[in-house]
Each structure stands twice: as C-alpha cells, then as structure tokens.
Amino acid sequence: MRHSGPHPRQGRSTHHHRRGFLKRVVAGALSVPFLNHLPAGVRLLAQDAGATATIPGKQGLRILSDRPLNAETPATLLDDPLTPNHRHFVRNNGRLPERARTKALNGWSLRVDGEVDRPLTLTLDDLRRFPRHEAALVIECGGNGRAGFFPPASGNQWTLGAVGCALYEGTRLRDVLNAAGIKPSAVYIGYYGEDPHLSGDPKKESISRGFPIEKALDPHTMLAWSMNGEALPDHHGFPLRLVCPGWPGSASGKWLNRIWVRDREHDGSKMTGSSYRIPKHPVAPGTEVADADMAIIKEMPVKSIITRPASGIDHSIGVPIEVRGHAWSGFGDITAMHVSHDFGATWAPAKLNPPRNKYAWQQWEASLRFPVAGYYEVWARATDAQGQMQPMIVPGWNPKGYLNNAMHRIAVKIS
C-alpha cells in the first residue's frame, strides 16, 4: 500500500529535524562514514528542498514560473503507483485556453489533414467510436533535471519533479490516422493546440511539435480524453491531448485541435533551432553549438527517483530503513535496480516490480542497514533492457539542459 502523506516511519522527524541536520553536516559536526569513497568533484548532498505554492486543483507543487505556468512535484509526493491528477507536474508554453477552464465542448473538433486520403473533422463523440485504449504512461519534461547542469542552462530550473505516471484513456492515434488513409508520402505528424500565445497574438503558436510517422503508428501512442478516470484537467489538455510515451513531454501536445500529417519533418513552433535538441556529438561544458549540429530528442534516458524516505531524515542505528521509488526508460523496461549507502563503493539489488504496461514506471524497494552513526547518502541506480545505466553525475552537457538522468540521492543521519 502506498501512502499519500508522510510515511509512518518518518513521523515528525523529517520535517522538524531536516534543516538542523543539514546545518550540522555542513558545519562538520557529524561524522561521514565512507567519505573516502566519495568520488572526486562530487559534493555532499546536504541542501533544502525549497518552498511550495498553491495552484488551484494541485497540492504541494513547486512553482517555477507563472507565465506560463510551470510547476514540479517534490519526489516524496510521487510515491503513488499512479500519479494523482492533483500531484502531476504542469508544463505549459502559453496561456490556459478558455475552453479548458469552462469545460465547454461546443465548437471544438479535431482536424486530421495533410498527407491523407480522407481529411477528417472529429468531435469527441466521434473519437469515442474508435476502439478504446487505456494505459499507464510516463510523461517527463525533456528539461527535467536542468537545475543540475553547470554551467547553468537557461529555462525552468526543474530538479526531479517534472515527471508523472497517470492512467490515460482514449484511442490509439494510429486508428484515427488509418481511418484518414495515410499516403505513402507521410513521414511526420505535427500537432496544434488551443493554448494562446503569451503575447495574445492569435497568429503566433505557443508550441507545435511532432514526431515521425513510425512513432505515430506505435500502438502505445494515444489520443487521450481521460486521465485517472476523469476528463482531462484544465492544465493537462482538456478536451484532448496526445500522449507520446517514451519521448519528451513536449511531444505529448495538449488542448489538441489539429493533427497535420506531413511529407517532411515538422517545423512548427519549438520544433526547430535548438528547441528540444541536443548536440549530435559530445561537447565540452559551456560550448556554443550551432543549430545544424543539434539533433531532435527522441527516447528519454533511463532514470529513477527515491520517493521514500525524504532527504534529511534522522534515523536510529540498528534499525533498517525502507527505501523505495520508481524507475522508467524511453528505451523499454527496467531490468535492474540497485542502491548504495557508501557513495557507490558497493551496490545492493532492490526488489523491482514489473511495469503495468510498456512505458509505465516500475516501483522498486530496498531495505538498508547502516554500520555506524553519522551522515550517509542513499544513491539509486536503474538499468534498462538495453543495458543502459544511470550515471553518477550529470551526463552530456548541452546548451538547453536536457536529459539529465543522474542518480537521485538522499541524505540520511544515523544516530
């Protein structure tokens, strides 16, 4: 069973002792077992999590910007097997459409056109006549973890919480595209939504991205109208959104009203230049990279988070700590999960649950004992079906701060 509030074993200690504990670590008042194992250049974790703010319909999220609204979820609030709507992160590029606020469907339709034999104009009732599909799918912002890059990358400074795994219901995109009749010339799809540009200029798009026709025809790519058994919430795309699992969240367009099937790579807003792109070859930190040397992000890398306990807890020596979290990858299932309490000198396997379906995250848990009193860090490392393993430090610097899948770690005081 998963708890939505503080874990019973944490009690009041996590909230009341974390700040003092971290100050004592920084001041050198606590011993640090295994400190000689800490790799050169890696600093102790000791830091506070930051403040939270209130968003209507949300609980406990941290606001990174309010125009457009972007807010992330603290890792401890991502403990549920499925992320509740009120705890799912928000990544917007423009203003919230009026329709999303009022939930009015009059005048709305989805247009499917371009390289198709039979252009379609579909209401939500029309879409519901297609075969229904339901799946638990991870959506993660391509910039999740941007705050870890140095030199810093511009943009929202996401830490760990721009990710969620919700249960979506809708229909497969391929069923709708097949009904429209895909021409041999089709190579890409581009999406358009109702979210107004921040400037208010109706001629400008907030965002219009897309993906190759092969990904559009993948049986896991969806047109979703429901999230966790409810109509899509306002900030999550009412009345219809794309869910392109395994790829950055920017591919999962919200407030959808058009799918344009194209005979070339889509070139909508935030699809060109350096947007959601990384260097084609490794570059040194701080390097200026020409747009021609950037490649579109496709699959998201292997990653995991620790959802219990919170970083900075006090714990009694001799009593094991139960650690748990989630792991996922855009390349397939997670095949192994390990944890370390000695700065990576040794690793212990964690129990790993199978995914509910492909592209759902997998829950894991482990029990750790600590040999002596002092300051420790618990590190978590996932390995996916392709053998890709999370790095210890921020990988592959890039100008936009994308794809940081460095291992999550939490601080623990054993007394």
Q: What percentage of the chain carries pLDDT values higher than 90?
A: 86
Contacts of 218 (CB under 8 A, 6+ apart): 174
Q: Could you report the per-residue pLDDT of 325-355, keeping only the tens digit for each?
A: 999 999 999 999 999 999 999 999 999 999 9
Q: DSSP secondary-structure letter at 409?
A: E
| pLDDT class of 93 with cuts at 50, 70, 90 | very high
| pLDDT class of 12 with cuts at 50, 70, 90 | very low
Residues 396, 331 within the same domain? yes
Nearest to residue 103, comparing CAs of 285, 212, 232, 200?
232
Residues 347, 259 within the same domain? no
User: Residue 242 belongs to a domain with what CATH number?
Assistant: 3.90.420.10
Residues 342, 272 within the same domain? no
Assigned domain for 349 exists: yes
Assigned domain for 63 exists: no
Residues 223, 348 within the same domain? no
Assigned domain for 109 exists: yes
Please tell me the total number of residues recorded for the chain in this structure. Answer: 415
pLDDT of residue 18: 45
Residues 292, 306 within the same domain? no
Residue 412 has pLDDT above 50, yes or no: yes
**Residue 125, amino acid:** D
Number of domains the chain is built from: 2
What pTM did the predictor assign?
0.89
Residues 260, 135 within the same domain? yes
Which domain, by its residues, includes 165? Answer: 85-296
Residues 280, 305 within the same domain? no
Nearest to residue 331, comparing CAs of 383, 397, 295?
383
Residues 124, 44 within the same domain? no
pLDDT of residue 39: 65
pLDDT of residue 50: 44
| pLDDT class of 184 with cuts at 50, 70, 90 | very high
Residues 314, 359 within the same domain? yes
User: Where does a domain end: 229, 264, 296?
Assistant: 296
Assigned domain for 7 exists: no
Return the half-sphere exposure (C-beta side, CA atoms, 13 A cut-off) of residue 310.
27
User: Residue 404 belongs to a domain with what CATH number?
Assistant: 2.60.40.650
Q: Could you report the per-residue pLDDT of 247-303, keeping only the tens digit for each?
A: 999 999 999 999 999 999 999 999 999 999 999 999 999 999 999 999 999 999 999
Beta bridge partners of 365: 324, 351
Residues 310, 286 within the same domain? no
User: Where does a domain end: 269, 296, 323?
Assistant: 296
